[in-house]
Structure 1
């Protein structure tokens, strides 16, 4: 059963927050604010934060730059995961992924179903790994960010979470790149 093992020491994760929007600015980025508040309250470190336009190349470039930054362990983007023509965050993430975490979208849909019913079918939340960095793409609503953090990421980004978590395998994410 899923649980926090208090005998293990908490390990802070260095997380970058990327808001994807043609209209948001720092002063009205409620989804980004939601994620920052939650990650800091959990004891993690805000490693970077920015806003980029809904442009596939710009999103992918920012993701790649942060994946190459040794001071960033995980990236959470918010926005641009819907179905409209300007929603290209998922495609940009997939341009960067080395491996996709297929079950993330499924679990997010399950969580969303309990909150918004069949409207959850419109989300394309996704996750993957690149250059030893976790990447998560969440919808742009504060509620979706809250749900994804509270129900999935808060647990999987906590080293104490049992039976397993993303943090404990972080040192091995890029083992295929190391010389033997």
Structure 2
């Protein structure tokens, strides 16, 4: 007996750009991520630019992880070693579990493009309240690399042998309905 074919499940995604320089109109990396998510069939339910302030980042991410429309939060910017980068300290305390392989794979892929400078990326992913939270560097190239090689495949329920989608949906959502978080 063959397994039933899996279906694509559109997820609600929030895009947060962390920058003291970018404003809404020139958020090129945020717009790239929004467009890429939409083109992949997902819904962008929130898109915002935040300053490098770990408490503002934490407050916004906290609000989004309890929002039933949001299954994934993608932050871009503030993940390097500059003194004002606050993304990682802002989100790490919120995580129920960290997905260490995400940062490891991102740095490995990034090494091919930028060499040893890739070790300075603190790219991070984890789960909080059945919400996937991913923190990427703010450069467009880094966001594209993470989206194409890591996020897009793992946000597709058809991806095998496993993907993140079952971790983001409530057990009651066996029909693939969106927004089924606890």
TM-score (norm 2): 0.89
Q: Compute the displacement of 1:27 (Å).
A: 0.9
Q: Compute the displacement of 1:169 (Å).
A: 2.6
CA distance in 1, matches of 2:13, 2:168: 13
In the alignment, what sits opposite 1:84? 82
In the alignment, what sits opposite 1:54? 52
Encode CA deviations 1:138-163: one digit per residue, 9 max, x unaligned: 00001100000000000000000000
CA distance in 1, matches of 2:6, 2:126: 26
Task: Give yes or no for the alignment of 1:127 onto 2:125.
Answer: yes
Task: Give yes or no for the alignment of 1:28 onto 2:30.
Answer: no
CA distance in 2, matches of 1:128, 1:28: 28
Runs of 5+ unmatched residues, structure 2: 172-181
In the alignment, what sits opposite 1:96? 94
**3-state SS in 2 of match to 1:112:** helix
In the alignment, what sits opposite 2:141? 143
CA distance in 1, matches of 2:91, 2:102: 14
Q: Could you tell me which of 67, 74, 83 is aligned with 1:69?
A: 67
CA distance in 2, matches of 1:84, 1:65: 26
Residues 106-117 of structure 1 mapped to structure 2, 5 A cutoff: 106-117=104-115
Runs of 5+ unmatched residues, structure 1: 1-5
Larger deviation, residues 162-171 vs 131-140: 162-171
The number of aligned residues is 170
Q: How much is the aligned-residue C-alpha RMSD, in angstroms?
A: 1.7
CA distance in 2, matches of 1:111, 1:34: 19
In the alignment, what sits opposite 2:178? none
Q: Compute the displacement of 1:168 (Å).
A: 2.2
**3-state SS in 2 of match to 1:161:** coil
CA distance in 2, matches of 1:91, 1:52: 14
Q: Compute the displacement of 1:110 (Å).
A: 1.1
8 A Cα contact 2:130 2:167, kept in partner: no
CA distance in 2, matches of 1:35, 1:171: 22
